[in-house]
Amino acid sequence: MTQAVGKSDMHVRRIDEATSVVEIRGEITAGSEKPLMDAYAEACGAKTRAVILDFGRLDYMNSGGIGLLVTLLVRANRQKQRLAAFGLNEHYRQIFELTRLDEAIGIFTDEGSAVAGAKA
Amino acid sequence: MATGSETQAKGRDDAPNWASPDRALRVGEMPAGAINRNVAGRRLVGPVQGFGQLWQKTYRIRMDGVTVAPTDVIREWKANYASYWPKGNRFYAPVAGLQLGDVALINAASLGGVQLSTGVRMIYADDESFTFMNAAGHPAAGMITFSAEREPGDPVYAQVQVLIRANDPFYDALLPVYGQRAEDAMWTKTLRALAAHFGATGEVTIQRALVDRRRNWSEAKNIWQNAAIRSGLYMFAAPIRWARRLVARAR
């Protein structure tokens, strides 16, 4: 299912009962809170242990977007879930490194390794 | 920051707005009087690296009668950031002016008369906002975003939004008795001073949201880099340093 507000568009896929992928399309700013949190809620089932963020179609992110990812990380940790990411280009990888989010959200090159890594 | 042409092709490009990652903070040429202690060589600390509860606080002022655009407000704020700080606190931008990626020094009045020496780095800047991230040892681990906006039919609003944890158990213990109050006073006075510059007066509203009530006990070790403790020790050791210099000269 798709959650779309403004220029943010989130699409959720279930890999299995323990793992979901949230595709982030467009932008992440402070204004993306509702679609991102709605997508996260949709990605979560009773047995979900890992939520994987697909940044392959991310076009734009500001510092408000980083704040939103921190909030999402807190929610996932509270549910004892792992948060992982893939599809980050070099620019967004550098932003994760700059803000040190990469120390809390596992970064992978593709979906396969993200799913395997999140389950490890 | 390097980016692929892929981002640019899709529309808005955020690449010019972000600083490059740096493993260790580098301090440029600073004005005379700036104390560069507890900053150079340290890392930045975000909300993930802090110790205490995670708070998001939003300080906002409505600038009635202000006709300039939000971009003008941000341009002025960024260019003369230090001038809007309350008395007793000093913010030193590099001599050449504060640019994206620059480190700025903070020499602030703190509890017990200690002159707290720490710093921040501007990690993000666009036309309507800019963001600082704090150096290790700063009382707060996290980010502070300064922004201005105008909704259709509304006046300009200026805003400070902090997303922070107390950096270590020492700062966390001081938060309810000193830290929260000091932070509220700091940003309230800053926003009032900014509004006054543009000829506006207004009340500052404060919204507080507790994002994470848990403490990161694995980050309790941050106390070793505590800038207040280190600044205090340095200050109280001044007579010893003075005596040593005297003895060295006599020899």
Cβ–Cβ < 8 Å for B109, B115: yes
Report pLDDT for B8. Answer: 43
Low-confidence stretches of chain B (pLDDT < 50) are 1-9
To the nearest 10 degrees (0 to 180), the angle between helices B227-236 and B238-250 is: 40
Written as six digits, the tokens of B31 are 């004005």
The predicted pLDDT at position B247 comes to: 86
Cβ within 8 Å of A, B 41-100 = 43-49, 54, 56
In whole angstroms, give the CA distance from residue B144 to residue B135: 12
Of B1, B49, B145, the CB nearest to A63: B145
The verdict on a CB contact (< 8 Å) between A60 and B1 is no
Domains and CATH numbers, chain A: 2-115 (3.30.750.24)
Tell me the C-alpha to C-alpha distance, in Å, between residue B173 and each of A39, B179, B216, B233.
37, 9, 14, 19
Distance from CA of A17 to the nearest CA of B (A): 26
Q: Are strands A50-61 and A19-28 parallel, antiparallel or unpaired?
A: parallel
CA distance A5 to chain B (A): 17
For chain A, list residues with pLDDT below 70. 1-6
Give the closest residue to B195 by CA, choosing from B203, B205, B186.
B203
pTM as predicted: 0.89
CB contact under 8 A, B48 and A104: yes
Burial call B22-49: b when 16+ CB within 10 Å, e when fewer: eeebebeebeeebbebbbeebbbbbbbb
The interface predicted TM-score (ipTM) is: 0.91
Number of residues that make up chain A: 120
What is the DSSP-derived secondary structure letter of residue B37?
-
Backbone phi, psi, residue B152, to 5°: -55, 130
pLDDT in tens, B99-141: 999 999 998 877 677 788 899 999 999 999 999 999 999 999 9
Instruction: Give me the domains of chain B, ranges plus CATH numbers.
Output: 13-250 (3.30.530.20)
